Structure 1
């Protein structure tokens, strides 16, 4: 059974492989990370770990039984009032198996219990019904705001209050 783990330094090789192998798949539904992300991955990974240590972000990877990364679920831009932005992506090979829903649920629990957060926000493109389904299944509510522009693509905002 895949395990949700907090991002660590030793995840870097598997995380890079995950991002490279799924780049074209991700680009169908979310903005592409760009070439610089891949050419300077080690520096970027170290920067993410520093942000996590500082408490401004919380990064997680979904690790398969063989040590491969199947997905990631991130809480970024933590605010002093206890809010953060949720972002997630699952490998093409992991899609449609309920893993994103399970991982987002687990991160919501951690957000409240371990990180002391009170609200999570998310955005997705209007042409990504899979992501919209994950968000609604995990307790997020659409805000009704349709003025979201995600790299030139229309999107929608969601919010979830935490206990």
Structure 2
């Protein structure tokens, strides 16, 4: 069973392989990261770890049985009890419920480990799979927006149903 792990330095090689192997697949539904992302991957990885250490963002990888990265599930722009959720799942792991499981698990982590109360997310209108994951995970459409020039939707999710009652052990 794949496992969500907080990003760490040792994930860099598998994460780079994941991004390279899935670049064309991702570019079909989200803006491409561009050549610069790959050319400076190590530097960007260190910067992400520094952001995470500062509590600005929490980056996670979905790791398979062989240590391969099957996905990313991230919380960015953490402030005032909220964060923006972003995720991507490898083409070879898509369509099996992994994105929904990963998003739901991250909602639990966001509430019970990071102390967040709300998550925001967005998806382009043509990304039906992402919109379905958000709907299955309890996100509600709150508006329209443009995402890299494409029409999209904004979502919001309260994490109240993930928050452990006072005195109860956190399940994470």
| Alpha-carbon distance between aligned partners in 2 of 1:32 and 1:116, rounded to the nearest angstrom | 32
Name stretches of at least 5 consecutive residues in structure 1 with no aligned partner: none
CA offset at residue 151 of structure 1?
1.0
| Alpha-carbon distance between aligned partners in 1 of 2:75 and 2:98, rounded to the nearest angstrom | 17
* Deviation readout 1:108-155 (Å, 9 max, x if unpaired): 000000000011000000001100010011110011x22x11111110
**Structure 1: which 4+ aligned runs deviate by more than 2 Å?**
none
Larger Rg: 2
Q: Does 1:155 align with 2:152?
A: yes
RMSD: 0.5
SS in structure 1 at match of 2:44: helix
| Alpha-carbon distance between aligned partners in 1 of 2:12 and 2:146, rounded to the nearest angstrom | 30
The aligned length equals: 160
Equivalent in the alignment of 2:168: none
* Deviation readout 1:77-96 (Å, 9 max, x if unpaired): 001x1110000000000100
TM-score, reference length from structure 2: 0.92
Name stretches of at least 5 consecutive residues in structure 2 with no aligned partner: 161-172
Equivalent in the alignment of 1:130: 129
